[in-house]
Amino acid sequence: MLAETFLKGGAYCRPLMARDGLADALVDPTVAKIEALGGIVETGARVRSLEISGNRVAALDRADGGIVLGPRDPVIVALPPTRARDLVPGLTTPDDGEAIVNAHFRLSAPPPPFPAGAVALGVLGGAAQWIFVRDRIASITISAPGPLAQADDAALLPRLWGETRQALALPDDAHYLAGRIIKERRAVFDQSPAGVSRRPEARTPIANLLLAGDWIDTGLPATIESALRAGNRAGALARMLSA
Ligand SMILES: Cc1cc2nc3c(=O)[nH]c(=O)nc-3n(C[C@H](O)[C@H](O)[C@H](O)COP(=O)(O)OP(=O)(O)OC[C@H]3O[C@@H](n4cnc5c(N)ncnc54)[C@H](O)[C@@H]3O)c2cc1C
């Protein structure tokens, strides 16, 4: 990751922000592309198990009916690592790692812009780490929050609001219209040296079964970039398998 960013210079270190949200930037265009190519996107359709016959996945089992695969069909399992382990026999993956806590505050008016046109504010010496503002919503991110992941939302909200108010240079008596804490307990996979040593390749011993997801051995940390790189690799291998 360092070789691909810092060592290549400033142009490779620029954070990219989804202007209107990840749905606009990534999800909607991807779904449109898949559908334009004749694919189908189904959500809320949990795969319960893989039916393996010989050395191939023959079918996917779901509560609402399975999918039977053709002889040249590849399967890419792109679930979180511990879920993938439930489906794929003998698979080694990193365990679940750190949580991420987010707080979102709806403000009565957009706050003053950040200094020097910055897109995010880094907070030092507080519980909050990063503050992002989109119109009237201020969002706070805390990665690897430690005991804060267990903290009561009712106690966390005023604490984070105090830091946010101060960082955004809002008056002492400023208050938010609505506030919400979202705790993602299994936000990233275990990125310790032990966890990283358990990142698998995209190929599996099962002939038509490939893996994707940010936890594949891409060399990148648990990020969207890693998920994209793993997806590209699995896609290229799937094309070879189905050729
Ligand atoms: C709060 C938070 C903030 C983050 N911020 C950033 C950031 O700023 N930048 C960044 O690069 N990364 C960020 N990340 C990390 C980023 O979200 C992940 O790296 C990325 O989503 C991984 O993509 P993925 O496709 O591997 O897995 P996921 O996005 O986790 O997708 C896996 C999918 O599998 C589905 N699934 C699970 N079980 C089943 C089943 N049995 N059958 C069918 N489907 C199933 C899940 O519903 C899910 O949709 C953040 C993560 C969190 C939680």
Q: Which residue puts its alpha carbon closest to atom 13 of ligand 1?
A: 223
Q: Please list, in sequence order, all residues whose beta carbon lies within 8 angstroms of the beta carbon of residue 88, skipping any fewer than 6 positions away.
A: 50, 77, 204, 206, 209, 211
Mutate to test the pocket of ligand 1, among 5, 96, 214, 232 (most ligand atoms within 8 A of CB): 214
Per-residue pLDDT band for 14 (boundaries 50, 70, 90) equals: confident
Q: Looking at residue 211, what is its pLDDT?
A: 98
Average pLDDT of the chain, as a whole number: 95
Distance 49 CA to ligand 1 centre (A): 20
Q: Looking at residue 87, what is its pLDDT?
A: 95
Please report how many Cα atoms fall inside a 13 Å half-sphere around the Cα of residue 69, on the Cβ side.
Answer: 19
CATH number for the segment(s) 21-94+192-242: 3.50.50.60
CA distance 116 to 111: 15
Per-residue pLDDT band for 119 (boundaries 50, 70, 90) equals: confident
Residue whose structure tokens are 């995209």: 202
CA distance 128 to 235: 38
Give the number of other Cβ atoms within 10 Å of residue 216's Cβ: 25
CATH number for the segment(s) 100-184: 3.90.660.20
For 64-91, how does the pLDDT look when each residue is reduced to its tens digit (9 = 90+)? Answer: 889 999 999 999 999 999 999 999 989 9
Domain ranges of the chain: 21-94+192-242, 100-184
Tokens representing 45 are 């359709």
Q: Looking at residue 37, what is its pLDDT?
A: 96
Beta bridge partners of 138: 105, 133
Q: What HEC string does 104-158 produce?
A: EEECCCCCCCCHHHCCCEECCCCCCCEEEEECCEEEEEEECCHHHHHCCHHHHHH
Lowest mean pLDDT among 16-25, 185-194, 229-238: 16-25
Q: Is the CB of 80 under 6 A from ligand 1?
A: yes
